[in-house]
Structure 1
Amino acid sequence: MLDTPQIIQTMAQAAATIHLTVPRSDMMKVFGPAVGELMAALAAQGVEPIGAIFAHHLTMSPDIFDFELGVKVSAPVKATGRVKPGELPAAKVARTVYSGPYEGLPTAWGEFETWMKANGHEQAANLWELYSVGPQSTPDPADWRTELSRPLKN
């Protein structure tokens, strides 16, 4: 289920990130361990995460995910191992919230893209998902919430 999409202007937000390029089929294998690695690096530096984990997909391919796993931060992070300073960019985006399990995200993105096209919005190459409510918050996938943001060219 999607909330009514909105067009908003985002501000650049400092983040700590790990860049990953993985086959789509490996996403669930690498995501959890990378989150643990990211949070451990922040804790070691005394930097507080702000909000939820996100995946900023830099390019879209059917078979390969090229993305930055990250979290917004309260202070600059120092590069350590795979963890690097990064940001969620300032952009004009179409945004909605998907409610449900992660397995439904491809369908949700399809519905969202249909809405963008029907409303004359040309999409940029990148996108991001912010996992605001997930298994860390509640065991019931029906209660999970993922914010979908797609930068626009127009």
Structure 2
Amino acid sequence: MIRARKVKPDPPAVARVAAVPRDILRLLALVNERRRADVSLSALSTLAHRSAYNLHRRFRAVVGETPKAYTSRVRLARAAADLVTTDRRTSAVAASHGFASHEVFTRAFRRLFGVSPRAYRARGLHVADLSRTHAAAVSAAAPCVGLYRMTVSTERSVPVPAEIAVQEMPTVDALVMRRRTSRDEIAAALGSTLPAVFAHAQQHGLTMTGPPFARYPEFGMSSVVIEGGVQIAAPAPGDPSAGIEPLSLPSGKAAVTVHKGPYDTLPDTYQAIETWLEKEGHQRGGPPYEIYLTDPGEHPDPETWETRIVQPLA
């Protein structure tokens, strides 16, 4: 009798795309430091030592937004978090995030969120007790919500050995958007799903409780199903028409490690987890997921990036 060979699932791949220029990452960090300063195209081109045309083209190719759209979105996202987590006057919030006047801020806010700053504040958060957690989560994720899993170097870095431990994980409520994509397009899939889920959560006043994450419920020979999402404080219905769905990450024991370094070397850490599972005699209890602890929009050195990998155990 011929026995079927047990095939192990491959580790989640990293998109093989053109490397992101590190000078754009350094510029993003400067932009996000200058919360009240001039971030016009002319100012940024001076900082980058490039022509305005060249910078505009390269910035949009990497980030997926023009410099103006990017800086406006990030500032408005952080301002929205301030409105529902502090009692500061709206004009003070506007000024602290670089808007020239209350009127300019109100117009931009209404365009993005569909309501005035006053109405947004009056509605509040759906779990107000975690306002500080929400503010921290929004502030950290807004600059880079479309940049996770990017390839930043054509040279493979030396992976940092993974320290793997069994941890008891709590139940986590989340909203996700699911995509089936090729292994080469994981970064692009997250670049479209995470910003949409993040924007939905902010527009509806949902309390975010941690960094964005990606879950891998299915791997095929040529494709992968990926769920990009945000953690929220309590269940929420999502938006079926937009493909945004609720998800509960179950509690239980999991093999957990923190991958240190660029996303390019994530497969090495997944392979280390695979080896560890065999050595320790553990079985998988569900799809693995990654939590993006470091903000590439504020930390331009990929060697400092940290990604928590959670492999549920049976």
- Please indicate, yes or no, whether the TM-score normalized by the shorter chain is above 0.5: yes
Structure 1 position 125, deviation (Å)? 4.8
Q: Could you tell me which residue of structure 1 aligns to residue 255 of structure 2?
A: 94
CA-CA distance at 1:63 after TM superposition: 2.7
Identity of aligned residues (%): 26
RMSD of the alignment, in Å?
1.6
Specify whether residues 134 and 61 from structure 1 end up closer, same or farther in structure 2 by C-alpha distance, changes over 3 A only. farther
Match of 2:304 in 1: 143
Kept after mapping to 2: 8 A contact 1:72/1:87: no
Aligned equivalent of 1:29: 188
Measured after TM superposition, the shift of residue 62 of structure 1 is: 4.5
* Aligned residues of 1:60 and 1:125 also touching (Cα < 8 A): no
Amino acid at match of 1:133: T
Count of residues in correspondence between the two structures? 153
Where do 1:52-63 residues align within 5 Å?
A: 52-63=211-222
Deviation track 1:29-74 (CA, whole Å, cap 9, x = no partner) reads 1211211111111111011321111111112334322122111112
Higher relative contact order (CA 8 A, sep 6+): 1
Identify which of 113, 119, 130 aligns with 2:274.
Answer: 113
Distance (Å, rounded) in 2 between the aligned partners of 1:9 and 1:75: 20
Deviation digits for residues 92-142 of structure 1 (CA, Å, limit 9, x no counterpart):
211111101001001111112112211211223511111111413411110
Q: SS at 2:209's partner residue?
A: strand
The verdict on how the C-alpha distance between 1:62 and 1:2 changes in structure 2, with shifts beyond 3 A counting, is farther
TM superposition outliers: structure 1 runs of 4+ over 2 Å: 59-63, 74-79
Residue type at the aligned position of 1:135: P
Moved more, 76-85 or 50-59: 76-85
Structure 2 residue runs of 5 or longer lacking an equivalent are 1-159
- Alpha-carbon distance change, 74 to 124 in structure 1, aligned in 2, over 3 angstroms: closer
Given the two structures, how large is their TM-score scaled by the length of structure 2? 0.46
Q: Deviation at 1:3?
A: 4.1
Could you say if the C-alpha distance between residues 90 and 125 of structure 1 is closer, same or farther in structure 2, counting changes exceeding 3 Å?
A: closer
SS in 2 for 1:49: coil
Matched, 1:6 2:6: no
For structure 1, which segment, 7-16 or 138-147, has the greater mean C-alpha deviation from structure 2 after superposition?
7-16
Q: Are the counterparts in 2 of residues 45 and 77 from structure 1 also a CA contact under 8 Å?
A: no
In 2: Cα distance, 1:57 partner to 1:27 partner: 10
Q: Which has the higher strand share?
A: 1
Give the secondary structure class of the aligned counterpart of 2:292: strand
How far 1:90 sits from its partner (Å)?
1.6
Larger radius of gyration: 2
**Which secondary structure does the structure 2 equivalent of 1:51 belong to?**
coil
Matched, 1:152 2:307: no
Counterpart position of 2:243: 82
Unpaired runs of 5+ residues, structure 1, are: none
- Letter matched to residue 126 of structure 1: P
Match of 1:48 in 2: 207
